Structure 1
Amino acid sequence: MTISPPDLRIRRDADEIALADWRRRRRRRLLLKITIPLLALVLIAAGVWAVGFSTLLAVQSVSVSGAKLVGQDAVRQTAAVPVGAPLARVDLSAIHDRVAGIRQIESVSVERQWPHTVDIKVVERTPVYVAREGGSYLLVDRYGVGYQTVDNAPAKLPQVEVDPGNRQLLKSLAVVAAALPDDLARKVDRIEAPTRDSIQLKLRNGDTVFWGSEEQSDLKAQVIVALLKQPGSHYDVSAPGNPAVR
Protein backbone atom coordinates (compact mmCIF):
# COMPACT_ATOMS: atom_id res chain seq x y z
CA MET A 1 0.00 0.00 0.00
CA THR A 2 1.38 3.39 -0.99
CA ILE A 3 1.28 6.25 1.58
CA SER A 4 0.49 9.63 0.07
CA PRO A 5 2.58 12.73 0.93
CA PRO A 6 -0.14 14.24 3.18
CA ASP A 7 -0.30 11.03 5.18
CA LEU A 8 3.48 11.03 5.53
CA ARG A 9 3.40 14.57 6.89
CA ILE A 10 0.69 13.66 9.38
CA ARG A 11 2.67 10.65 10.51
CA ARG A 12 5.89 12.67 10.83
CA ASP A 13 4.05 15.33 12.82
CA ALA A 14 2.63 12.69 15.16
CA ASP A 15 6.06 11.15 15.62
CA GLU A 16 7.59 14.53 16.35
CA ILE A 17 4.86 15.32 18.88
CA ALA A 18 5.37 11.96 20.58
CA LEU A 19 9.13 12.48 20.62
CA ALA A 20 8.78 15.96 22.05
CA ASP A 21 6.39 14.68 24.70
CA TRP A 22 8.85 11.89 25.63
CA ARG A 23 11.67 14.40 25.86
CA ARG A 24 9.59 16.64 28.13
CA ARG A 25 8.77 13.72 30.42
CA ARG A 26 12.42 12.70 30.46
CA ARG A 27 13.55 16.22 31.35
CA ARG A 28 10.90 16.33 34.10
CA ARG A 29 12.12 13.05 35.56
CA LEU A 30 15.74 14.21 35.46
CA LEU A 31 14.74 17.50 37.06
CA LEU A 32 12.91 15.67 39.84
CA LYS A 33 15.89 13.37 40.41
CA ILE A 34 18.09 16.42 40.89
CA THR A 35 15.62 18.69 42.68
CA ILE A 36 14.36 16.29 45.35
CA PRO A 37 17.83 15.40 46.76
CA LEU A 38 18.85 19.06 46.63
CA LEU A 39 15.67 20.04 48.47
CA ALA A 40 16.31 17.33 51.06
CA LEU A 41 19.85 18.60 51.58
CA VAL A 42 18.57 22.14 51.99
CA LEU A 43 16.00 21.01 54.55
CA ILE A 44 18.62 18.98 56.45
CA ALA A 45 21.04 21.89 56.44
CA ALA A 46 18.30 24.22 57.64
CA GLY A 47 17.41 21.79 60.43
CA VAL A 48 21.04 21.44 61.52
CA TRP A 49 21.43 25.20 61.54
CA ALA A 50 18.19 25.72 63.47
CA VAL A 51 19.01 23.09 66.10
CA GLY A 52 22.76 23.43 66.42
CA PHE A 53 23.70 26.98 65.54
CA SER A 54 20.74 29.34 65.72
CA THR A 55 19.02 30.80 68.77
CA LEU A 56 15.68 29.27 67.81
CA LEU A 57 16.31 26.36 70.23
CA ALA A 58 18.69 28.08 72.62
CA VAL A 59 18.92 27.52 76.38
CA GLN A 60 16.58 29.90 78.18
CA SER A 61 16.23 28.28 81.60
CA VAL A 62 17.86 25.80 83.99
CA SER A 63 15.57 23.58 86.07
CA VAL A 64 16.96 22.20 89.37
CA SER A 65 15.23 19.69 91.64
CA GLY A 66 16.27 17.83 94.79
CA ALA A 67 18.66 20.52 96.05
CA LYS A 68 17.17 21.16 99.48
CA LEU A 69 20.42 21.17 101.43
CA VAL A 70 22.65 22.80 98.83
CA GLY A 71 20.08 25.13 97.33
CA GLN A 72 19.02 25.59 93.71
CA ASP A 73 21.03 28.78 93.21
CA ALA A 74 24.25 27.08 94.33
CA VAL A 75 23.64 24.21 91.90
CA ARG A 76 22.93 26.61 89.02
CA GLN A 77 26.05 28.60 89.77
CA THR A 78 28.23 25.49 89.89
CA ALA A 79 26.58 23.98 86.79
CA ALA A 80 27.47 27.09 84.76
CA VAL A 81 24.98 26.26 82.00
CA PRO A 82 25.62 28.57 79.00
CA VAL A 83 22.25 30.30 78.72
CA GLY A 84 21.72 31.50 75.16
CA ALA A 85 23.77 28.71 73.59
CA PRO A 86 22.06 26.19 71.27
CA LEU A 87 20.53 23.51 73.49
CA ALA A 88 21.78 20.71 71.23
CA ARG A 89 25.40 21.77 71.68
CA VAL A 90 25.41 22.12 75.47
CA ASP A 91 27.96 19.76 77.05
CA LEU A 92 25.82 17.77 79.49
CA SER A 93 28.77 15.67 80.68
CA ALA A 94 30.71 18.75 81.74
CA ILE A 95 27.67 20.10 83.61
CA HIS A 96 27.22 16.72 85.32
CA ASP A 97 30.84 16.62 86.45
CA ARG A 98 30.73 20.14 87.85
CA VAL A 99 27.57 19.51 89.87
CA ALA A 100 28.78 16.08 91.03
CA GLY A 101 31.76 17.86 92.55
CA ILE A 102 29.52 19.44 95.19
CA ARG A 103 30.34 17.51 98.36
CA GLN A 104 26.75 17.28 99.62
CA ILE A 105 25.47 15.69 96.40
CA GLU A 106 25.41 11.90 96.08
CA SER A 107 24.25 11.64 92.46
CA VAL A 108 23.14 13.89 89.62
CA SER A 109 21.45 13.57 86.24
CA VAL A 110 21.42 16.23 83.51
CA GLU A 111 19.03 16.18 80.54
CA ARG A 112 17.81 18.40 77.74
CA GLN A 113 14.17 19.41 77.95
CA TRP A 114 13.21 20.73 74.53
CA PRO A 115 12.88 23.36 73.39
CA HIS A 116 14.73 25.64 75.85
CA THR A 117 15.60 23.98 79.19
CA VAL A 118 18.46 22.09 80.82
CA ASP A 119 17.04 19.89 83.59
CA ILE A 120 19.27 19.02 86.57
CA LYS A 121 18.12 16.47 89.14
CA VAL A 122 20.24 15.83 92.23
CA VAL A 123 20.09 13.38 95.12
CA GLU A 124 21.70 14.77 98.23
CA ARG A 125 23.65 12.69 100.71
CA THR A 126 21.86 11.41 103.81
CA PRO A 127 23.85 10.99 107.05
CA VAL A 128 23.96 7.63 108.80
CA TYR A 129 26.20 8.79 111.66
CA VAL A 130 28.18 11.81 112.84
CA ALA A 131 31.90 11.93 113.58
CA ARG A 132 33.11 14.32 116.25
CA GLU A 133 35.62 16.90 115.02
CA GLY A 134 36.77 18.94 117.97
CA GLY A 135 33.80 21.10 118.90
CA SER A 136 31.80 20.29 115.76
CA TYR A 137 30.42 17.24 113.99
CA LEU A 138 30.98 15.77 110.54
CA LEU A 139 27.96 14.26 108.80
CA VAL A 140 28.89 10.95 107.14
CA ASP A 141 26.76 9.15 104.55
CA ARG A 142 26.30 5.44 103.78
CA TYR A 143 29.42 5.41 101.61
CA GLY A 144 31.61 6.75 104.39
CA VAL A 145 31.84 10.20 102.81
CA GLY A 146 32.07 13.04 105.30
CA TYR A 147 30.31 15.85 103.51
CA GLN A 148 29.26 18.60 105.90
CA THR A 149 30.30 19.99 109.28
CA VAL A 150 27.61 21.09 111.73
CA ASP A 151 27.75 22.66 115.19
CA ASN A 152 25.17 20.35 116.77
CA ALA A 153 24.85 16.61 116.23
CA PRO A 154 21.42 15.42 115.03
CA ALA A 155 19.79 13.73 118.01
CA LYS A 156 18.70 10.58 116.16
CA LEU A 157 22.10 9.72 114.70
CA PRO A 158 24.79 7.64 116.43
CA GLN A 159 28.08 9.38 117.10
CA VAL A 160 31.60 8.12 116.60
CA GLU A 161 35.00 9.41 117.59
CA VAL A 162 37.37 8.60 114.78
CA ASP A 163 40.01 10.34 112.72
CA PRO A 164 38.08 11.91 109.78
CA GLY A 165 41.11 11.19 107.62
CA ASN A 166 40.79 7.43 108.19
CA ARG A 167 38.70 6.76 105.08
CA GLN A 168 38.68 2.98 105.47
CA LEU A 169 37.34 3.14 109.00
CA LEU A 170 34.77 5.78 108.06
CA LYS A 171 33.55 3.48 105.30
CA SER A 172 33.40 0.43 107.58
CA LEU A 173 31.36 2.31 110.17
CA ALA A 174 29.07 3.60 107.42
CA VAL A 175 28.34 0.04 106.28
CA VAL A 176 27.34 -0.86 109.84
CA ALA A 177 25.28 2.28 110.47
CA ALA A 178 23.48 2.01 107.12
CA ALA A 179 22.45 -1.58 107.93
CA LEU A 180 20.70 -0.60 111.16
CA PRO A 181 16.89 -0.42 111.01
CA ASP A 182 15.56 3.02 111.96
CA ASP A 183 14.19 1.83 115.31
CA LEU A 184 17.55 0.33 116.27
CA ALA A 185 19.56 3.29 114.97
CA ARG A 186 17.63 5.59 117.30
CA LYS A 187 18.67 3.42 120.25
CA VAL A 188 22.39 3.70 119.43
CA ASP A 189 24.16 6.45 121.33
CA ARG A 190 27.59 5.96 119.78
CA ILE A 191 29.69 3.56 117.76
CA GLU A 192 33.17 2.68 118.96
CA ALA A 193 35.82 1.13 116.76
CA PRO A 194 39.29 0.53 118.20
CA THR A 195 39.90 -1.33 114.93
CA ARG A 196 37.85 -2.19 111.84
CA ASP A 197 37.30 -5.69 113.24
CA SER A 198 36.15 -4.68 116.72
CA ILE A 199 33.20 -2.37 116.12
CA GLN A 200 30.83 -1.94 119.07
CA LEU A 201 27.45 -0.27 119.43
CA LYS A 202 26.82 1.55 122.70
CA LEU A 203 23.08 1.79 123.23
CA ARG A 204 21.38 4.67 125.01
CA ASN A 205 20.21 2.36 127.82
CA GLY A 206 23.81 1.34 128.58
CA ASP A 207 23.80 -2.01 126.77
CA THR A 208 26.65 -2.98 124.44
CA VAL A 209 26.51 -4.80 121.12
CA PHE A 210 29.77 -6.31 119.89
CA TRP A 211 29.50 -6.15 116.11
CA GLY A 212 32.94 -7.22 115.02
CA SER A 213 33.79 -6.27 111.43
CA GLU A 214 31.54 -4.72 108.80
CA GLU A 215 31.10 -8.12 107.14
CA GLN A 216 27.53 -9.50 107.01
CA SER A 217 26.16 -6.29 108.51
CA ASP A 218 22.70 -6.80 107.02
CA LEU A 219 22.45 -10.25 108.61
CA LYS A 220 23.86 -8.98 111.91
CA ALA A 221 21.21 -6.24 111.96
CA GLN A 222 18.46 -8.85 111.61
CA VAL A 223 19.96 -11.00 114.35
CA ILE A 224 20.44 -8.18 116.86
CA VAL A 225 16.85 -6.98 116.50
CA ALA A 226 15.67 -10.40 117.68
CA LEU A 227 18.48 -10.80 120.21
CA LEU A 228 17.70 -7.54 122.02
CA LYS A 229 14.37 -9.04 123.09
CA GLN A 230 16.29 -11.37 125.38
CA PRO A 231 17.43 -10.18 128.82
CA GLY A 232 21.06 -9.14 129.03
CA SER A 233 23.40 -6.20 128.74
CA HIS A 234 26.10 -7.50 126.40
CA TYR A 235 25.15 -8.84 122.99
CA ASP A 236 27.56 -10.40 120.52
CA VAL A 237 26.66 -10.71 116.82
CA SER A 238 30.20 -10.79 115.47
CA ALA A 239 29.39 -14.35 114.34
CA PRO A 240 25.73 -13.90 113.32
CA GLY A 241 25.22 -17.64 112.97
CA ASN A 242 26.18 -18.10 116.62
CA PRO A 243 25.13 -14.98 118.58
CA ALA A 244 25.56 -14.66 122.34
CA VAL A 245 23.94 -12.79 125.23
CA ARG A 246 25.20 -12.25 128.75
Structure 2
Amino acid sequence: MKKNSRRRLPALIAALVVLLAIAGICVYFIPLVKVKNIEVHGATNADTAQVAEATGISVGENMLRVDSAAAAKNVASVPWVEKVTVSRSWPSTITVDVTEHQPVGYVKDKGTPLAVNEHGQVFLSGAQPEGAVEFRNVKADDAAAIEAAAQAVVALQPQVREQLEYMSVKNAESIELHFREDRTVFWGSADRAREKAEATRVVLLRDGAEWNVSNPAIPTLKS
Protein backbone atom coordinates (compact mmCIF):
# COMPACT_ATOMS: atom_id res chain seq x y z
CA MET A 1 0.00 0.00 0.00
CA LYS A 2 2.81 2.38 0.82
CA LYS A 3 4.44 1.72 -2.55
CA ASN A 4 1.15 2.50 -4.35
CA SER A 5 0.82 5.76 -2.40
CA ARG A 6 4.34 6.75 -3.37
CA ARG A 7 3.59 6.01 -7.00
CA ARG A 8 0.41 8.09 -6.93
CA LEU A 9 2.09 11.11 -5.35
CA PRO A 10 3.97 12.30 -8.51
CA ALA A 11 0.80 11.85 -10.51
CA LEU A 12 -1.19 13.94 -8.01
CA ILE A 13 1.46 16.65 -8.05
CA ALA A 14 1.46 16.71 -11.84
CA ALA A 15 -2.33 16.95 -11.90
CA LEU A 16 -2.24 19.79 -9.38
CA VAL A 17 0.31 21.68 -11.48
CA VAL A 18 -1.89 21.27 -14.57
CA LEU A 19 -4.94 22.51 -12.67
CA LEU A 20 -3.05 25.54 -11.36
CA ALA A 21 -1.80 26.33 -14.85
CA ILE A 22 -5.32 26.09 -16.25
CA ALA A 23 -6.61 28.32 -13.45
CA GLY A 24 -3.86 30.86 -14.15
CA ILE A 25 -4.70 30.93 -17.85
CA CYS A 26 -8.39 31.37 -17.07
CA VAL A 27 -7.70 34.26 -14.67
CA TYR A 28 -5.40 35.92 -17.22
CA PHE A 29 -7.75 35.68 -20.18
CA ILE A 30 -11.10 35.87 -18.40
CA PRO A 31 -11.52 39.19 -16.51
CA LEU A 32 -12.32 37.86 -13.07
CA VAL A 33 -10.40 40.76 -11.51
CA LYS A 34 -11.50 43.89 -13.33
CA VAL A 35 -10.36 47.52 -13.33
CA LYS A 36 -12.97 49.56 -11.46
CA ASN A 37 -11.11 52.83 -10.87
CA ILE A 38 -8.32 54.88 -12.46
CA GLU A 39 -6.93 57.34 -9.92
CA VAL A 40 -4.65 60.22 -10.92
CA HIS A 41 -2.39 61.80 -8.29
CA GLY A 42 -0.11 64.83 -8.53
CA ALA A 43 -1.89 66.61 -11.39
CA THR A 44 -2.47 70.31 -10.72
CA ASN A 45 -2.35 71.86 -14.17
CA ALA A 46 -2.87 68.73 -16.24
CA ASP A 47 -6.47 67.63 -16.80
CA THR A 48 -7.00 64.50 -14.67
CA ALA A 49 -9.67 63.17 -17.04
CA GLN A 50 -7.29 63.59 -19.96
CA VAL A 51 -4.54 61.82 -18.04
CA ALA A 52 -6.83 58.90 -17.18
CA GLU A 53 -7.99 58.62 -20.77
CA ALA A 54 -4.41 58.80 -22.07
CA THR A 55 -3.51 55.61 -20.19
CA GLY A 56 -5.53 53.65 -22.72
CA ILE A 57 -6.90 51.56 -19.85
CA SER A 58 -10.64 50.97 -19.71
CA VAL A 59 -12.87 50.32 -16.73
CA GLY A 60 -13.79 46.64 -16.85
CA GLU A 61 -10.44 45.62 -18.30
CA ASN A 62 -8.64 42.62 -16.84
CA MET A 63 -6.29 43.89 -14.11
CA LEU A 64 -3.73 41.21 -14.92
CA ARG A 65 -3.52 42.25 -18.56
CA VAL A 66 -2.95 45.96 -17.94
CA ASP A 67 0.27 47.12 -19.61
CA SER A 68 1.48 49.71 -17.10
CA ALA A 69 4.62 50.57 -19.09
CA ALA A 70 2.63 51.36 -22.23
CA ALA A 71 0.12 53.36 -20.19
CA ALA A 72 2.91 55.46 -18.66
CA LYS A 73 4.41 56.10 -22.09
CA ASN A 74 1.02 57.34 -23.33
CA VAL A 75 0.52 59.65 -20.35
CA ALA A 76 4.00 61.14 -20.82
CA SER A 77 2.72 62.83 -23.98
CA VAL A 78 0.07 64.81 -22.06
CA PRO A 79 0.89 68.54 -21.67
CA TRP A 80 2.34 69.45 -18.25
CA VAL A 81 3.37 65.86 -17.49
CA GLU A 82 7.12 65.52 -16.93
CA LYS A 83 7.27 62.13 -15.20
CA VAL A 84 4.67 59.43 -14.61
CA THR A 85 4.36 55.98 -13.10
CA VAL A 86 1.38 53.67 -13.55
CA SER A 87 0.80 50.85 -11.07
CA ARG A 88 -1.85 48.39 -9.94
CA SER A 89 -3.47 48.97 -6.55
CA TRP A 90 -5.23 45.71 -5.82
CA PRO A 91 -7.87 44.60 -6.05
CA SER A 92 -9.30 46.89 -8.71
CA THR A 93 -7.60 50.30 -8.98
CA ILE A 94 -5.03 51.65 -11.42
CA THR A 95 -2.94 54.43 -9.86
CA VAL A 96 -1.32 57.09 -12.03
CA ASP A 97 1.29 59.20 -10.21
CA VAL A 98 2.19 62.35 -12.13
CA THR A 99 5.04 64.82 -11.66
CA GLU A 100 4.37 68.03 -13.55
CA HIS A 101 6.78 70.43 -15.21
CA GLN A 102 7.56 73.42 -13.00
CA PRO A 103 7.30 76.54 -15.18
CA VAL A 104 9.80 79.30 -14.47
CA GLY A 105 9.60 81.35 -17.65
CA TYR A 106 8.29 81.70 -21.17
CA VAL A 107 9.49 82.97 -24.52
CA LYS A 108 7.41 84.26 -27.38
CA ASP A 109 7.69 82.77 -30.84
CA LYS A 110 5.91 85.06 -33.30
CA GLY A 111 3.58 86.13 -30.53
CA THR A 112 2.90 82.61 -29.22
CA PRO A 113 4.12 82.04 -25.65
CA LEU A 114 6.16 78.89 -25.04
CA ALA A 115 6.37 77.75 -21.43
CA VAL A 116 9.84 76.88 -20.09
CA ASN A 117 10.46 74.55 -17.14
CA GLU A 118 13.16 74.72 -14.47
CA HIS A 119 15.52 72.73 -16.67
CA GLY A 120 15.28 75.29 -19.45
CA GLN A 121 13.14 73.06 -21.66
CA VAL A 122 10.17 74.34 -23.66
CA PHE A 123 7.37 71.98 -22.68
CA LEU A 124 4.13 73.68 -23.70
CA SER A 125 2.99 75.96 -26.50
CA GLY A 126 0.36 78.65 -26.16
CA ALA A 127 0.68 78.97 -22.39
CA GLN A 128 1.90 81.83 -20.24
CA PRO A 129 1.91 80.18 -16.78
CA GLU A 130 1.12 82.26 -13.74
CA GLY A 131 4.30 83.40 -12.02
CA ALA A 132 6.54 82.58 -14.98
CA VAL A 133 9.00 85.27 -16.08
CA GLU A 134 9.17 86.46 -19.67
CA PHE A 135 12.51 85.91 -21.42
CA ARG A 136 12.82 88.73 -23.93
CA ASN A 137 15.21 89.33 -26.82
CA VAL A 138 15.85 85.61 -27.22
CA LYS A 139 15.01 83.34 -30.13
CA ALA A 140 12.76 80.40 -29.34
CA ASP A 141 15.31 77.98 -30.81
CA ASP A 142 18.25 79.30 -28.77
CA ALA A 143 18.26 76.40 -26.31
CA ALA A 144 21.49 77.44 -24.58
CA ALA A 145 20.24 80.96 -23.84
CA ILE A 146 16.86 79.72 -22.59
CA GLU A 147 18.51 77.15 -20.33
CA ALA A 148 20.85 79.81 -18.90
CA ALA A 149 17.90 82.12 -18.20
CA ALA A 150 16.01 79.32 -16.44
CA GLN A 151 19.05 78.57 -14.27
CA ALA A 152 19.18 82.21 -13.24
CA VAL A 153 15.50 82.27 -12.25
CA VAL A 154 15.77 79.03 -10.28
CA ALA A 155 18.79 80.35 -8.36
CA LEU A 156 17.00 83.49 -7.15
CA GLN A 157 15.59 83.55 -3.65
CA PRO A 158 11.76 83.65 -3.62
CA GLN A 159 11.61 87.22 -2.26
CA VAL A 160 13.90 88.39 -5.06
CA ARG A 161 12.06 86.47 -7.77
CA GLU A 162 8.83 88.17 -6.73
CA GLN A 163 10.34 91.52 -7.72
CA LEU A 164 11.50 90.29 -11.13
CA GLU A 165 9.48 91.70 -14.03
CA TYR A 166 11.30 90.21 -17.03
CA MET A 167 14.70 89.11 -18.30
CA SER A 168 16.62 90.27 -21.33
CA VAL A 169 18.49 87.30 -22.78
CA LYS A 170 20.59 88.25 -25.79
CA ASN A 171 22.48 84.97 -25.55
CA ALA A 172 23.70 82.47 -22.96
CA GLU A 173 26.51 84.84 -21.93
CA SER A 174 24.41 88.00 -21.69
CA ILE A 175 21.56 87.79 -19.18
CA GLU A 176 20.07 90.89 -17.63
CA LEU A 177 17.41 90.91 -14.92
CA HIS A 178 14.84 93.70 -14.84
CA PHE A 179 13.17 94.43 -11.54
CA ARG A 180 10.49 96.82 -10.32
CA GLU A 181 11.20 100.53 -10.17
CA ASP A 182 13.36 100.29 -13.32
CA ARG A 183 16.21 98.51 -11.59
CA THR A 184 18.44 96.17 -13.60
CA VAL A 185 21.09 93.63 -12.69
CA PHE A 186 23.48 92.31 -15.32
CA TRP A 187 24.40 88.64 -14.76
CA GLY A 188 26.35 87.75 -17.83
CA SER A 189 26.30 83.92 -18.01
CA ALA A 190 24.55 81.51 -15.65
CA ASP A 191 27.87 80.37 -14.18
CA ARG A 192 28.10 80.72 -10.38
CA ALA A 193 24.33 81.21 -10.35
CA ARG A 194 23.94 80.76 -6.59
CA GLU A 195 26.62 83.34 -5.87
CA LYS A 196 25.10 85.77 -8.35
CA ALA A 197 21.67 85.24 -6.80
CA GLU A 198 23.03 86.21 -3.37
CA ALA A 199 24.86 89.21 -4.86
CA THR A 200 21.61 90.28 -6.54
CA ARG A 201 19.74 90.07 -3.25
CA VAL A 202 22.34 92.27 -1.60
CA VAL A 203 22.57 94.96 -4.30
CA LEU A 204 18.80 95.33 -4.43
CA LEU A 205 18.99 96.45 -0.82
CA ARG A 206 21.34 99.27 -1.84
CA ASP A 207 20.82 102.47 -3.77
CA GLY A 208 21.48 102.44 -7.49
CA ALA A 209 19.45 101.54 -10.54
CA GLU A 210 21.94 99.46 -12.52
CA TRP A 211 24.22 96.82 -11.08
CA ASN A 212 26.63 94.29 -12.53
CA VAL A 213 27.08 90.98 -10.67
CA SER A 214 28.79 89.05 -13.47
CA ASN A 215 31.62 88.78 -10.94
CA PRO A 216 29.54 88.09 -7.82
CA ALA A 217 32.51 88.65 -5.52
CA ILE A 218 32.76 92.29 -6.67
CA PRO A 219 29.30 93.70 -7.61
CA THR A 220 29.64 97.04 -9.37
CA LEU A 221 27.29 99.96 -9.78
CA LYS A 222 27.01 101.23 -13.35
CA SER A 223 27.48 104.94 -13.73
Q: TM-score range by the shorter chain?
A: 0.7 to 0.9
Report % sequence identity: 27
Correspondence 1:158 to 2:101: no
CA drift at 1:31: 0.9
Deviations 1:46-98 (A, max 9, x none): 13532x22211232321112233221111122221144332222221111111
More helix by share: 1
Aligned AA for 2:5?
R
In structure 1, stretches of 5+ residues that fail to align are 1-23
For 1:229 and 1:205, how far apart are their aligned partners in 2?
Answer: 13
Q: Which residue of 2 aligns with 1:174?
A: 150
For 1:112 and 1:153, how far apart are their aligned partners in 2?
Answer: 33
Q: Cα 1:157–1:60, aligned 2, differ >3 Å: closer, same or farther?
A: closer
Aligned AA for 2:72?
H
Correspondence 1:199 to 2:171: no
| Runs of 4+ residues deviating >4 angstroms | 133-136
In structure 2, stretches of 5+ residues that fail to align are none
Aligned AA for 2:176?
Q
Computing the radius of gyration from Cα coordinates, the structure with the larger value is: 1
For 2:17 and 2:218, how far apart are their aligned partners in 1?
Answer: 75
Correspondence 1:43 to 2:20: yes
Q: 2:46·2:79 contact (CA, 8 Å) conserved in 1?
A: no
Q: Which of the residues 116, 129, 142 maps onto 2:105?
A: 129
More strand by share: 2
Q: 2:187·2:213 contact (CA, 8 Å) conserved in 1?
A: yes
Task: Give matches, 1:201-220, under 5 Å.
Answer: 201-220=177-196
**Over the residues paired in the alignment, what is the CA RMSD in angstroms?**
2.3
Aligned AA for 2:135?
V
CA drift at 1:136: 5.3
Give me the TM-score of the superposition, normalised by structure 1: 0.79
Q: 2:112·2:125 contact (CA, 8 Å) conserved in 1?
A: no
Give me the TM-score of the superposition, normalised by structure 2: 0.86
Q: Which residue of 2 aligns with 1:32?
A: 9
